Amino acid sequence: MEVRVRFAPSPTGHLHIGGARTALFNWLFARKNKGLFILRIEDTDEKRSSEEMVRGILDGLSWLGLDWDEGPFFQSEGVNRHRELALRLVEEGKAYRDFSDPGADPDSYLSYRDLSLPESDEAAAAGKSFAIRFKVPSVHIGDAGNRDLFALVRGNGLHFVLIRVSSTYLAEEGFEVHLVETSPTIGGKMAKLDRTFPTDDCSI
């Protein structure tokens, strides 16, 4: 199998030491294994991304001598595709729309987990804002009874968000890793997965 690794910085700030480290590890892995180093710009956070930061990232990588084999690709070009894929997961029962209001109880999203697809479609068609979350299964754990599988894996138990109301920048990472056949994926923890509520009112 051909090695295809990627560095996917967000142009919402300057290239920092952590990003440079991730780029370096991916670049070294690609070169050692005669693979490809792909550069993808995660620019789907429209409010904070800028051309100046994109140029700074490109210049920084070039200064470090980390040349890329494919790209730079821009995530904003695939927004419609990412939304279609997320909505397909909803239709297949693998994800669900979360209509929680900003400022609501942190667990309020669970009330939408088992909302029927027709009810969910109706609410969306009526213009109610929503995020899309993975539908995480429950498992039976002895005397503890049914427990959310995600809560067992991650301490806070939140079902992580695929798409926020304002953008797709949480979903595109997983979708693009699959679509461009990236293997393996080398990176750091993505803390943004726990951000639950949208702060604006833009519908998918």
Task: Specify the range with the lowest mean pLDDT, choosing from 13-22, 118-127, 132-141.
Answer: 132-141
Confidence of residue 117 (pLDDT cuts 50, 70, 90): very high
Q: What is the pTM of this model?
A: 0.64
Confidence of residue 15 (pLDDT cuts 50, 70, 90): very high
Sheet of strand 95-98: strand arrangement: 95-98, 131-134, 161-163
Residue 161: its H or E element: strand 161-163
Average pLDDT (126-139) is 82
Model pLDDT, residue 18 = 93
Q: How far is 110 from 89, CA to CA, in rounded Å? A: 17
Q: How far is 177 from 8, CA to CA, in rounded Å? A: 10
Task: Specify the range with the lowest mean pLDDT, choosing from 18-27, 38-47, 146-155.
Answer: 146-155
Model pLDDT, residue 135 = 83
Higher pLDDT, 5 or 194: 5
